[in-house]
Structure 1
């Protein structure tokens, strides 16, 4: 891009407060950007930052031609309305893929940005050589960040999709029908081997820290790995793919702004 247009893709990261996990996540994203040659605009704000001040900062980044993607690290302090903040990010710079405009485009099958984590999950499935088309896919979790967009992405690739949640009856039986089992519920080691079909492809989106400090997923990796045809680890699975997709969205945004797409 630099050679063709003189433009370097730019990502603005905005972090409010002192949450250690959030600082770690942002640092890992910045490190990946440095390695990929993406310009980083880093804003760290105190926890008592007002919603109006944060909105003003986002407005500045929306207008900055050097910025092609904006990441507001979640969670935000409780006095700030996350939906108002995420909606304020320009849909054209929504590198996380959370803006309602981009979600609506995903629903109709013509997304500009796709949410990073589900986009990474799709890439992981495709990397195995397992075809999504025609498969029975079960998504555990219905969040706006992972479950719902992932279900739509699978549907657009011609999977038969079931979304499960806390009110789903006989959850284990539904899971056992899945050829593709995608888990994002935030409960450590919730999915056990008896819930998994022999040879199924299992992607674990969960990241849970146990009292002893160990990080585990939503899937009991040791048990399920003996039964699944494919399974992603935690850590080291979906997390790095999410960061990779954030970078990919930023570069694609820069290309659009440079008239290369």
Structure 2
């Protein structure tokens, strides 16, 4: 068996195209252009790249990109004051505070100042509660994207055994709630789970989100299972010889041993090119949703 490769880039493009069409219709019918405000504190290189890419994608979708870049020494009170101003700005439909924040700032305190109806990352306690209760919520982007990828190969998940490996508030917990909403039987496994390999082997849908390179081996996977690899880990590239150009370089791998898993699974996401592209696509989707909901459309 060789698993079907789930092309996250193609699915993400489809989502972005749908968002762009929705934005165009919103402007044509109501004269509204959604706005996404991103707050970046400090000069973390990875965060700068993420913010730049989000800005490009936002503008390509026809939305306004509003970027606030603050110095690393900006105080927590100043960041919160900015978030409150954005809450009151009617031209801002979505607010995203880029994480991580500098150590002197309490990220939870800042995130929970965001108006839940503008919380396009789905990280406020209000949206987390709405999701658990099955109410209308803005859902975290990576878990939402994972569900969309699963649906490309398993439209009806009802009754499927789903295992989520990882229990973070960013991915594991919201993803478990989303799978429950699809009527799956859900198990959350983590570092304290006994016999985790056997737990994973029961999964019709296995979602790995622990941040440990290639921890999920081929013999952890049920034949024919759908495997969603959410991990992104940078590891040293293997050396091919003493003069190898790869020496000292790094490569990206997921939480799943891809080659081994591909031989067993029915469908699998690659890293990179799987879940990753879906995160920004779903951020745009959430911003459009927020713009519509805020105006009762």
Q: Give the structure-2-normalised TM-score.
A: 0.86
Structure 1 runs of 4+ aligned residues shifted over 2 Å read none
Note the C-alpha offset of 1:82: 0.7
Query: How many pairs are equivalent?
Result: 260
1:31-180 residue pairs with structure 2 within 5 A?
31-180=56-205
Distance in 1 between residues matched to 2:106 and 2:121, nearest whole Å:
17
Give the gaps of 5 or more residues in structure 1.
none
SS at match of 1:88: coil
Does the CA contact (< 8 Å) of 1:103 and 1:111 recur in 2?
no
Distance in 2 between residues matched to 1:28 and 1:240, nearest whole Å:
11
Note the C-alpha offset of 1:31: 1.4
Does the CA contact (< 8 Å) of 1:5 and 1:258 recur in 2?
no
Corresponding residue number in structure 1 for 2:271 = 234
Given the superposition, is the C-alpha separation of residues 156 and 219 from structure 1 closer, same or farther in structure 2, using an over 3 Å criterion? Answer: same
SS at match of 1:42: strand
Note the C-alpha offset of 1:47: 1.1
CA RMSD of aligned residues (A): 1.0
Corresponding residue number in structure 1 for 2:13 = none
**For the pair shown, which has the larger CA radius of gyration, 1 or 2?**
2
Corresponding residue number in structure 1 for 2:254 = 217
The structure 2 residue matched to 1:202, chosen from 227, 240, 263, is 227
Q: Give the structure-1-normalised TM-score.
A: 0.97
Task: Report which structure shows greater RCO (CA 8 Å, sep ≥6).
Answer: 2
